[in-house]
Every structure is written in structure tokens, then in C-alpha cells.
């Protein structure tokens, strides 16, 4: 029986997020009392949205990936371990022996935390449980202890759901995604660093007055500040930095302009599909817990790419990440697989800075530095996982910035492996400090949002 369930889960996972999420959404919607036809439509709208996201992300990978590779070769980066990115790390994770039990474990953790009122995040993004699974798979591969691997899934899941609570005020205040949050992915776990940088810049006279965003640029320079033009210019610049001629650089610019225009429209499809479920869940929870109850639907960080500031920052950080890779001490990794989707790494950081791209340059640089730094230390672990899952024969070194550079995975695994105790203490010290600082900032932001909503309610009364 358990084997049949496990095989069924694996079968659905292998169809990808664009099929899995519609099925999950439709089933949950029907269970919550939404009419079958409406539930199916909602699921399909979300599927359409994720198909669109997949098309855009694949286009970015296919076009920005080679440009980034050409750029690194042009500037003479002799880094021997290539970043396989999330497109390489996620299939490797799902192929691990711990993957089939990871989904029920992660869902179970969410249900227990909701029951005990330890979180308000209801995660429906089953696909991205691969992040939690990755921690378990790495820990199991390194220690050989299956239960340590399961503990890794539990701890990463619990932290992820708390991160969903942590960033919910930003989702509402900056992204205008009321009732939604992003509890997982690189965006969620690296954004605490941005909170520290935001507070530091606030204390520096002069720098604290600088506010550069697509909106402020549009006010000052007109049409050249519009997202479509910014995308076109940045895409073309990346092409020329890669050594492309006009016949290659200009088409790249047009495609990046298309990303800036199409991404918000695609995200809107997802939002439309989620609306019936979100409203029904809110209705049921209000009936059970009262008007003061607040729950958040956890979704893929891809929904954050609907913000033009996030996409703009992502384009800027393609060449910048390559430059950062050159200055990280002892770095062996050539950023590649994750470069095209670098927006995911800094999306919540953009929101922390309220869309201020000037501040994002500082915090984003720190985020990418720390990611590359950790990813270097996890190279042996990823290589062992790739060999264990049959992804490679183990003779070639494997690295991934997404998840391979995750401080949660690194700290947890290092506690048991003890390969680099000094490095673990440094990274854990920095990360825990940033996390506590982010919690304080989140509470302050939540209070500001609540005060503003109360004021608006009084005005409308």
C-alpha cells in the first residue's frame, strides 16, 4: 500500500509543477467546499500560469545562460566546478531514496505546526518541498543515517514555514499579495541578510537618502525608466559584455524586454487561479477562529518575478555575480546554472528595501558572496549525492548555488559531519544574527501595515 502511494506521488512529481499544482489546488478546493467546475478552473488557471513561467524561465536559461558562459570566458574566469543550478539539483534530489517520504513528512510538519499555532503558513506548493528534501538527502548521503536525513527534512520544513510567517507582511505591503507568502527557496532563507544591510544604510548619512528604482527612474527620465525599456537595455548590455555582436546582443535585449512585460501578466493568471481557494480558506478559518485569525497560503517564489524591480535587479546581478565569484576566497565555482534565474536569490531583498535597487546592490552582493562561499564547502556533499543517485559517476565535481549554498542545509549537515567546525561557527553566527534581526524588522513592518490598515478602515467608516 505504502509503495503504491509512494509510486503515485513520484509519478505526479515527475509531471512537474505545472501539472502537480493544478491537481493539488483542485483537490484542496473541492475538499474545502468549492464547486467542482470552479475548482478545476482554478487549478487549470494556475497550471497555465506555471506553464507561462516555465516558458519565460526556459527562455531566460536558453539565452542568458550561454551569454553568462561567454562572459565568464571572455573575462578569463578559470573556475573549474560548474554550477548546475536548481535545474540540475532538483532532479538529483527527487531521485534520492529519502524523497518519497519527504513530502508526507514536510506536509505533516506543516499540519502539526498549524494545529499547535506555531505557524500561520499553509504551504500548498508541494513541488518546492524539494528544498527541504535536499537537506535530508545531503545529510543522509554524508552521514549514512536515514533518520538524520529525516530530521533534516523536519528542521528545514519547520524553518521554512516560520520564514513564511516572517515575510508575509512584505508580501502584503510591497508585492500586494494579500494572504499569500513565500516560505521556501533561496529568496526566503537569504533575505535576513538584507534586513541587516537595510538598517546599516539607514544609519549612514547621504547613502540613506539615495533611492533608485524603476519608478523613480521613470519619473526622472521618462520612457527610458519604463520596465520594458530597462529590460531591453540591460539585456543588450549583457549581450555586449558577453562579446556578442549587434545581431546577437539586440535580440537578447528584446527577449529580456519581453520578460519584463510578460512576467507580471503570467503571475496574474496564478493569482486569479488562487483567488477562490484563498477566499474560501479565509471564510472557513474566520468562521472557526474569528476575524482576528490570519493565515497565509505558501507559494513558489516565482510569483515574485511579477515585480519589475525584482527582474531588473536579477539582470544587473548576472554580470555582478560573476564578478563576486572572482573575489570569494578559494572559490572553485563558476556560476552558471542559476545565473539566468538569479532574481530568485534577491527577490525578497528587493522588498525589504522597498524596491530601492541601490540598497539591493549592497545586500544582494552579500547574499551572493555568502551563497558562493557556502556552495564551495558543499561541493563534496553534492558530488556524493550525484553519485548515489546515479546522476553522475562521481568523478566530476558537482556544485549548485541554489540549495548547495543554503545556510540551513550547511549548518545542519556540518553539525553531524564536522568537516569544518570553524567555518560552521562563522556561518552559523552570521546567519543566526541576521535571522534574529529580520524577526525584529518583520514585527516592526507588520505593526506599520496594521496601523495603516486601521487608519484606512477608520477613514472609510
pLDDT (tens digit per residue) in 140-197: 999 999 999 999 999 999 999 999 999 998 898 898 888 889 998 888 999 999 999 9
Residue 390 has which C-alpha cell? 546515479
Instruction: Identify the pLDDT of residue 223.
Output: 62
pLDDT bracket for residue 99 (50, 70, 90): confident
Lowest mean pLDDT among 21-30, 305-314, 417-426: 21-30
| Residue in 357, 317, 348 with CA at minimum distance from that of residue 214 | 357
- Grid cell 496564478 — which residue? 270
Residues 6+ apart with CB under 8 A from 330: 376
How high does pLDDT run on average in the chain?
Answer: 83
| Residue in 125, 131, 135, 105 with CA at minimum distance from that of residue 185 | 131
| DSSP of 67-111 | HHHHHHHHTT----EEB-HHHHHHHHHHTSTTHHHHHHHHHHHHH
pTM surpassing 0.95? no
pLDDT over threshold 80, residue 406: yes
Which of 94-98, 300-304, 396-400, 428-432 is predicted most confidently? 428-432
Domain limits at 147?
A: 2-460
pLDDT digits (tens, 9 = 90+) for 325-360: 888 998 888 887 777 778 889 999 999 999 999 999
Q: Indicate the number of domains in the chain.
A: 1
Amino acid at each position: 500500500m505504502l509503495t503504491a502511494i509512494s509510486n503515485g506521488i513520484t509519478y505526479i512529481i515527475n509531471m512537474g509543477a505545472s501539472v502537480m499544482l493544478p491537481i493539488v489546488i483542485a483537490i484542496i478546493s473541492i475538499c474545502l467546499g468549492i464547486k467542482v467546475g470552479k475548482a478545476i478552473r482554478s487549478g487549470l488557471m494556475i497550471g497555465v500560469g506555471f506553464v507561462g513561467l516555465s516558458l519565460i524561465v526556459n527562455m531566460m536559461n536558453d539565452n542568458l545562460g550561454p551569454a553568462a558562459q561567454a562572459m565568464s570566458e571572455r573575462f578569463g574566469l578559470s573556475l573549474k566546478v560548474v554550477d548546475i543550478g536548481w535545474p540540475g539539483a532538483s532532479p538529483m534530489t527527487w531521485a534520492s531514496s529519502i524523497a518519497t517520504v519527504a513530502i508526507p513528512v514536510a506536509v505533516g510538519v506543516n499540519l502539526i505546526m498549524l494545529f499547535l499555532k506555531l505557524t500561520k503558513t499553509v504551504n500548498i506548493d508541494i513541488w518546492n518541498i524539494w528544498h527541504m528534501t535536499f537537506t535530508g538527502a545531503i545529510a543522509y548521503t554524508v552521514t549514512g543515517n536515514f533518520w538524520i536525513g529525516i530530521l533534516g527534512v523536519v528542521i528545514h520544513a519547520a524553518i521554512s514555514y516560520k520564514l513564511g510567517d516572517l515575510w508575509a507582511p512584505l508580501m502584503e505591503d510591497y508585492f500586494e499579495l494579500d494572504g499569500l507568502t513565500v516560505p521556501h527557496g533561496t529568496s526566503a532563507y537569504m533575505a535576513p541578510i538584507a534586513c541587516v544591510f537595510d538598517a546599516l544604510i539607514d544609519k549612514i548619512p547621504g547613502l540613506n537618502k539615495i533611492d533608485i528604482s524603476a519608478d523613480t527612474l521613470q519619473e526622472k527620465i521618462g520612457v527610458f525608466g519604463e520596465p520594458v525599456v530597462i529590460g531591453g537595455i540591460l539585456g543588450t548590455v549583457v549581450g555586449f559584455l558577453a562579446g556578442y555582436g549587434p545581431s546577437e546582443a539586440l535580440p537578447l535585449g528584446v527577449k529580456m524586454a519581453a520578460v519584463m512585460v510578460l512576467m507580471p501578466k503570467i503571475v496574474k493568471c496564478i493569482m486569479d487561479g488562487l483567488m477562490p481557494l484563498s477566499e474560501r480558506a479565509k471564510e472557513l478559518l474566520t468562521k472557526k477562529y474569528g476575524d482576528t485569525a490570519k493565515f497565509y497560503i505558501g507559494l513558489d517564489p516565482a510569483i515574485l518575478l511579477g515585480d519589475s524591480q525584482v527582474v531588473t535587479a536579477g539582470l544587473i546581478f548576472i554580470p555582478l555575480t560573476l564578478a563576486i565569484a572572482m573575489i570569494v576566497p578559494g572559490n572553485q565555482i563558476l556560476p552558471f546554472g542559476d545565473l539566468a534565474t538569479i532574481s530568485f536569490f534577491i527577490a525578497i531583498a528587493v522588498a525589504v528595501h522597498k524596491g530601492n535597487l541601490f540598497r539591493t546592490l549592497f545586500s544582494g552582493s552579500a547574499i551572493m558572496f555568502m551563497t558562493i562561499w557556502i556552495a564551495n564547502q558543499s561541493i563534496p556533499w553534492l558530488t556524493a549525492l550525484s553519485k548515489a543517485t546515479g546522476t553522475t559517476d562521481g568523478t566530476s565535481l558537482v556544485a549548485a548555488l541554489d540549495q548547495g549554498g543554503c545556510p540551513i542545509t550547511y549548518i545542519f549537515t556540518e553539525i553531524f559531519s564536522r568537516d569544518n567546525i570553524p567555518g560552521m561557527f562563522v556561518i552559523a553566527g552570521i546567519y543566526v544574527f541576521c535571522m534574529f534581526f529580520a524577526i525584529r524588522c518583520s514585527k516592526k513592518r507588520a505593526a506599520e501595515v496594521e496601523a495603516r490598515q486601521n487608519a484606512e478602515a477608520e477613514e472609510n467608516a
